[in-house]
Structure 1
């Protein structure tokens, strides 16, 4: 996702589900003191995102002088807890930012409005737009897109006397071998890569083995695929291509700002493509995006586009027309696009992307060029996952760490992970 952080713990997810279920109306909005319609807009992010969002809001208000937009901003860690509390108190914001992992949680409980025909989506790729639809209703409009990718520091590879890989045909074994050589050549000062436990990584790996991550309300990933995936991680630790289990768990729980790249101790890693700028800033270097490695003989690379986030509207809002107008502005107005640029993913609207393309910073130009290069290879964007998917990253990380620390065998961990994950998404 756009934040790169874990979403909800299982406990918080349970609280949120109960809160959403309790929702029975909306006390949002009203009128400003000067008689204008007041529209509430909730979103998360960094201080930089807040600043640019407030600038976009001012631009919208200038074009719509009868509407005041009140931004309700928080950091990612507290966002969903705050949102679920508001919804439970019948105080839902009029416009709500949400991730794909939480979309069905809210849509299935009647929290979100159907935006079909209310927002202009003509310039959004139909397959990307479909990720915000559930049971034929367009509950969410994607802000922008990204892809889970391999990030590499060419300088670190060169310093280790290695060649940059040919990412059109490299394998997981070649990636792990390169990582081990980088660590060895640096005397252990720079690790070849850091571990990643994001479900997007497993989804890509599973696709290369002909499996889907979700099959309805059950996992489509087999125990054998999980064991093969963990075997790659175990090999990285054994060869010192990555830090040991303890350090990997510590780094894996941190944001880009505390990654091995940021401390000058890593040559490769995996992140969402829209995080390239943040990685460049944190590392002080110009890093590149590569295709994910493949299983020998795989007929697909498994990579896919995914919305960085969505705009949705409260089904209980008394200002549904104004909410739709604001979402339309954030998605389709080139002036909004020139303010927001790629902060919420590369713009989903092809017209807005064309309008801001030359204004994107170098790292985002690089991301755009990379996605253009691989677009013919990408799988269709996945549909919104089942309810309970918000907890998947925490569950997957926990069992991955059990395997890497040697506290659980891969066979045992695979069975227990599948059982717990299926219980979470059973509906």
Structure 2
């Protein structure tokens, strides 16, 4: 079966393209078959792993057919919005920390408390882990692994350039100088040291946390226009010095691996989530390294916190809540499934699965586990759930504003004013 990076189906008869997991198998079905729809975004590697786990589940669960779809970043949210409007949300769908609060408050997610612990056997995760996917006192999803923000870098490029590899104590001032040196070392048109990361909400959040603030606070924005102006000015100064990729490169980024400037070969550094290192390494020929985001000052707060890398939620419109919960339980607790999934969606939350997969992890996967462990004494408290409207703030306010900024259509001061004004109109608290 061909897997397309943009769209991938795992399905039953009637799907436009795909594979019926139960087709051709000798497994007897129940009198009444249950069909579950699953939807997620991610790389081809993630699609293959998910497909293999779904096939394994079907082989062990007669009478259940899974129909799944993998989409690109922006296409995923458009499809989810369409499903919500039509009251036909996928039975199992993927969210992440920045979106679970928003979508659960919009009524997209089914509360899962009734399935714990009889169906969802997640007690071994620990109470704190379940808090990561709890909104307003209700459990709206199950975390698929732990991760945090990260900075990736092309180690071979650094070695050829004769520059030291970045370390966790790198400051933002030092990063700016390093990025310019990397651009010079590249010596070619269209290549730069790193991304124009003003448009990454999670990097902005870490930067704010290093200064005692945050992206959101109490259901509203947690920063001022002065903070935003300083943030925008930093990236504009760096862009003009040649330390960031050009605006036309950065605007391609849809917060997916294959659209990131590092994966596109346009930069030596990329900023993303730690579990994505596996997907990046599959695309990038040279060995990549991983470290924390730069910080305000040496010895100061990292701005990092542990987060559920990705989350399975159950659609509020499902007619098969119990069956959907059983599939999620299998996904996070079955050892065979865990060996297929590895740490591509983060370090498993189940201690038993984590222990079982450690011996089989390749060097890249081991690096992501080491990174999560490295952060143990540097992470801050997990933030309160993002307010309603946070997804729109990221996608329709921050990113477009940063694109205007990079194309020099607006000044940092004016962009900061607009970010606050448009942000207040978008965030619903």
Q: TM-score range by the shorter chain?
A: 0.7 to 0.9
> How many Å apart are 1:253 and its aligned residue?
4.8
Q: Does the Cα contact within 8 Å between 1:195 and 1:248 map onto a contact in 2?
A: no
Q: 1:280 to 1:96 in 2, by over 3 A?
A: closer
Q: 1:41 to 1:381 in 2, by over 3 A?
A: farther
> How many Å apart are 1:214 and its aligned residue?
0.6
Q: 1:71 to 1:243 in 2, by over 3 A?
A: same
Corresponding residue for 1:339? 340
SS at match of 1:407: coil
Q: Is structure 2 residue 54 aligned with structure 1 residue 57? A: yes
Corresponding residue for 2:22? none
Residue correspondence of structure 1 range 288-367 to structure 2 within 5 A? 288-296=289-297, 299-367=300-368
Q: Does the Cα contact within 8 Å between 1:128 and 1:381 map onto a contact in 2?
A: no
Q: 1:35 to 1:201 in 2, by over 3 A?
A: same
> How many Å apart are 1:349 and its aligned residue?
1.9
- Equivalent of 1:238, from 214, 233, 240? 240
Q: Does the Cα contact within 8 Å between 2:333 and 2:350 map onto a contact in 1?
A: yes
Per-residue CA distance 1:178-226 (angstroms, 9 max, x = gap): 1111222333465221222210000000001110211122100122221
- Matches of 2:179 and 2:386 in 1, distance apart? 33
Corresponding residue for 1:205? 207
Q: Does the Cα contact within 8 Å between 2:146 and 2:372 map onto a contact in 1?
A: no
Corresponding residue for 1:26? none
Residue correspondence of structure 1 range 7-406 to structure 2 within 5 A? 35-44=31-40, 45-65=42-62, 67-76=63-72, 77-116=74-113, 117-118=116-117, 119-165=120-166, 167-188=167-188, 190-196=191-197, 197-244=199-246, 246-253=247-254, 255-296=256-297, 299-394=300-395, 395-406=397-408
- Matches of 1:87 and 1:354 in 2, distance apart? 38
TM-score, scaled to structure 1: 0.84
> How many Å apart are 1:236 and its aligned residue?
1.7
Q: 1:195 to 1:127 in 2, by over 3 A?
A: farther
- Matches of 2:228 and 2:59 in 1, distance apart? 53
Q: 1:93 to 1:248 in 2, by over 3 A?
A: closer
SS at match of 1:35: coil
Q: 1:254 to 1:212 in 2, by over 3 A?
A: closer
Q: 1:260 to 1:346 in 2, by over 3 A?
A: same
SS at match of 2:144: strand
- Matches of 1:346 and 1:108 in 2, distance apart? 27
SS at match of 2:124: coil
Q: 1:109 to 1:296 in 2, by over 3 A?
A: closer
Unaligned runs of 5+ in 1: 6-31
Per-residue CA distance 1:108-138 (angstroms, 9 max, x = gap): 2444322222412222243332121111111
Unaligned runs of 5+ in 2: 6-27
- Equivalent of 1:407, from 396, 406, 409? 409
**Stretch of structure 1 that moved more, 410-419 or 189-198:** 189-198
- Matches of 1:249 and 1:39 in 2, distance apart? 40
> How many Å apart are 1:301 and its aligned residue?
0.8
SS at match of 2:125: coil
- Matches of 1:162 and 1:219 in 2, distance apart? 38
Q: 1:385 to 1:283 in 2, by over 3 A?
A: same
Corresponding residue for 1:21? none
SS at match of 1:347: coil
**Stretch of structure 1 that moved more, 198-207 or 43-52:** 43-52
SS at match of 1:91: coil
Q: Does the Cα contact within 8 Å between 1:149 and 1:270 map onto a contact in 2?
A: yes
Q: 1:313 to 1:411 in 2, by over 3 A?
A: same
The runs of at least 4 aligned residues of structure 1 exceeding 4 Å deviation read: none
- Matches of 2:428 and 2:101 in 1, distance apart? 13
- Matches of 2:182 and 2:44 in 1, distance apart? 35
Corresponding residue for 2:12? none
Q: 1:81 to 1:269 in 2, by over 3 A?
A: closer
**Stretch of structure 1 that moved more, 121-130 or 168-177:** 121-130
RMSD across aligned positions (CA)? 2.5
How many residue pairs get matched? 394
SS at match of 1:74: strand
